[in-house]
A and B are shown apart, each in its own frame.
Chain A
Amino acid sequence: MTKTTDPVAINDWQVIGRIDDFLKGQPKQTRLLGQSLVAERHKNGDIKVHEISELGETLRSCPVQEKFGHVWTTLGKPKRELFDIPEFQQIDRKYVGCGGVMAKASALRVVENFLDIGHFPYVHTDFLGSEPLTEVKDYKAEIRIDVDEVWADEISFHQDKAMLSATGGKAVEYMYRVVSPFNTVLYKTCPEKPEEWDIIGLFAQPLEENLCRVYAFMLVFDSQNTETDLIHFQQMIFFQDIIILENQLPVGVPLYDGAERSIKADKTQLQFRKWLKQKGLQFGTDQET
């Protein structure tokens, strides 16, 4: 596998693991956008990341940041700072990192699936939705040029077990925010504190065009459930999605017209695709012949 030539993907921050995944003196090999990397936490606590050749020779050194419970690097020169998730500053929120799970899929398909609600009754049956309450009422979705993110809000959907802390089914409000092509968060009704939002996010590490490692996390108000309970719930949801993610063709998301048919409920995805097209992103997309 070779390093991508896509400048949009290269000149951006990408996740390569949880902070806890990197222990002192234990170098880890990983891949990013087709490029092999080695990352090591040194005795002083700093993480150093290098591109390496197929023979293991150390090449270019990459910038590193540790933020939002995860480690970030870049293969190029990002024009902007890493996005912000201010809710990480709220000390009474419970943070849970669910670990990196691999999917044989394009990271863009993973993000699109995260933005999708219509699949809840069929893929997350009796948790995030169930028949016959399948209707996705109209909502708002837009590209916010000022922050260069895709946002969707005024979404409402009936869920039997929206969060582990939920007792009984009810209508749940959602907002979606795509902070960069492979990273997204959602805000949903918090059962324990109705005036706040619970946050669930996905940071997708694009290993290859058809392979990614997905780090899910939660930033929630939940005094009842343990970290393990929450990890189990989130992993259950993601593994239910994996059946779909690993069975979509073409693998890459087609940004050209006519490849796939969409309906009104797909608004967020369509804005996401439009945004990716504007950026000129190629990695993880399907190229029209």
Chain B
Amino acid sequence: MSVLELKDVQYSYDKKKKVLKDINISMEKGKVYAILGPSGCGKTTLLSLMGGLDEPTSGAILCKGENISKTHLANHRKNNVAFIFQSYNLIDYMNPLENANLSSKLPALPILEKVGLTKEEARRNVLKLSGGQQQRVAIARALASDADILLADEPTGNLDEDTAEGITALLLESAHGTAQKCVVIVTHSNELARKADVVFQLKRGILQVVN
């Protein structure tokens, strides 16, 4: 069943040049979607539209059948989606547990432990954690929010190969495991894309399915 649907979505910054042209896709729970494309092609913009951080110039984005513009973007962000950023985006005056608790609907500590943090690490200053640990906290925060859709923007971009593998595994587990999330990953990594269920290529504003 489709959890997120984009219908004739177009987007332009200055109403002259279209960054996104007639995007029509449908995404389901339990699947990992990868979006590939060269830098500046509009991948992050597409992710922002899916996450309700911005509105399309034309077209509609439906989440569980409802137009997110009509149900308020903030509600969509709060209830349906969770972001995972390349730079982790943790709040520096909160420890991992507090970060994960920010918008949690599920108990955060077990999730932190599940993504690989000890109880002690869960209460440590976030800035004293490694990059991989910080990204794990970001994933835990996304999972704790119990959103159906995880939107990850270059989640392994700042990580070494081994750590990136661990993070990728967590994202795949989120979709294929019991959580059955719809995971959308914007990435440059072909390695990561190969593990996705569906791979899209964004080129000159047009989104095409690659596999």
Do A and B assemble together? Answer: no
| Interface positions of B (Cβ within 8 A of A) | none
| Interface positions of A (Cβ within 8 A of B) | none
